[in-house]
Amino acid sequence: MASYLVRRLAGTIPVLLLITLLVFLLLHAAPGDPASLLLSDATSEADVLEARQRWGLDQPLHVQYLKFFTAAVTGDLGKSFRFAQPVAELIATRLPATVELAAFSILIAVTLAVPLGVWAGARPNSWVDNLGTSFGLFGISMPNFWMGIMLILLFSGSFHLLPSAGRSTYGVVGAQETGFYFLGSLLGGNWPGLKDALLHMAMPGLALGANMIGILMRVTRSSVLEVLHEEYVVTARAKGMAERRVLWRHVLSNALIPIITVAGLELGTLLSGSIIVETVFAWPGMGSLLITGVTSRDYPLVMGLVMMYTAAFVTINLVIDALYGIIDPRIRY
């Protein structure tokens, strides 16, 4: 197992290398020169040249790439054009918001989808199953940003129940220093802060999790259906075990592998979904930062964030692979 993980880890290194190269090349395929884009038209020719020199844009491509790469490896992602701040620092301040939102969405998705899927799978073609399956199809077909907008329309616009933007209310003291408002408030016993964080997270979390709910529900359902016909289930029933215990202990634990696989695959969709949902809800995470970077042509910022996202995604895939061995001891590497 350990040697397998080491091999897999080693396998991801060339992939990450290729990604830095790809992103770097894209930057130079971009029309227009970053220096002239960034400086106003009134800037003199000499100043533009000076800026190009300062940013190292006058050097040959491979030198620029090497410089960029060696810096990136040591954690230096350059300085943002727009914010005039190190990119790594900017990302670090935004990271907790994205992590907290994504974790919350996964939590919503799993707690809703898995029981619903098991329920539907245990009674195929019943009304529960039909309702669950239609619900799943709705979740899959719903564009998450539109769902966000509709939630705002309903819960902020009509009922005035939930805040439509941001992570906290001005004046409510959360756990600002760590950046994890929800977790920090929970651990510190700060109830007003916890409630505030939860209220802000409810709508973006649901909008982001909707797709995952639909997909997880469908997978759980079909996985449970499949396992229900295994012989050990028949045995468990034959020895008089309560149906509920059969379902939740024997069936679910054996149906988990495909559920986890799909959940892992869906994390990628969740990550890219968070970019849009964060924009809809003005959530101060990495996604809204990325869009700010893209629209203001802040190339170092965009490159840094893209590498951050891909590295996170590759790591998640690695963790999921490692999880198989723990969940299902039959899987050997």
Q: Does 165 bind other proteins (CB under 8 A)?
A: no
Instruction: Report which of 118, 91, 4 is spatially closest to residue 307, judged by C-alpha positions.
Output: 91
Q: Does 37 bind other proteins (CB under 8 A)?
A: no
User: Which lies closer to other proteins via its Cβ, residue 175 or residue 290?
Assistant: 290
Among 6, 137, 161, 319, binds other proteins (CB under 8 A): 137
Q: Does 269 bind other proteins (CB under 8 A)?
A: yes
> What is the closest distance, in whole angstroms, from the C-beta atom of residue 173 to other proteins in the complex?
29
Stretch that binds other proteins, among 21-29, 40-48, 52-60, 200-208 (CB under 8 A): 21-29
Q: Does 35 bind other proteins (CB under 8 A)?
A: no
Positions in 173-202 near other proteins (CB under 8 A) = none
Give yes or no for a contact between 123 and 129, defined as CB atoms under 8 angstroms apart: yes
> What is the closest distance, in whole angstroms, from the C-beta atom of residue 47 to other proteins in the complex?
25
Q: 227-266 mask for other proteins (x: CB under 8 A)? A: xxx-------------------------x-xxxxxx--x-
Using CA atoms, how far apart are residues 179 and 37, in angstroms rounded to an integer?
33
If you write DSSP's letter for every residue of 233-275 in order, what string do you get? HHHHHHTT--HHHIIIIIIHHHHHHHHHHHHHHHHHHHHHHHH
Using CA atoms, how far apart are residues 89 and 177, in angstroms rounded to an integer?
14
Using CA atoms, how far apart are residues 149 and 133, in angstroms rounded to an integer?
24
Positions in 285-304 near other proteins (CB under 8 A) = 290-291, 293-295, 297, 299, 302
> What is the closest distance, in whole angstroms, from the C-beta atom of residue 124 to other proteins in the complex?
5
The CB density around residue 331, as the number of other CB atoms within 10 Å, is 13
List 79's β-bridge partners, or say none: 86
Residues 85, 88, 91, 92, Cα dihedral to 10°: -110
Q: Does 282 bind other proteins (CB under 8 A)?
A: no
How many residues bind to other proteins according to rule CB under 8 A? Answer: 77
List 86's β-bridge partners, or say none: 79
Q: 145-164 mask for other proteins (x: CB under 8 A)? A: xx--xx-xx---x-------
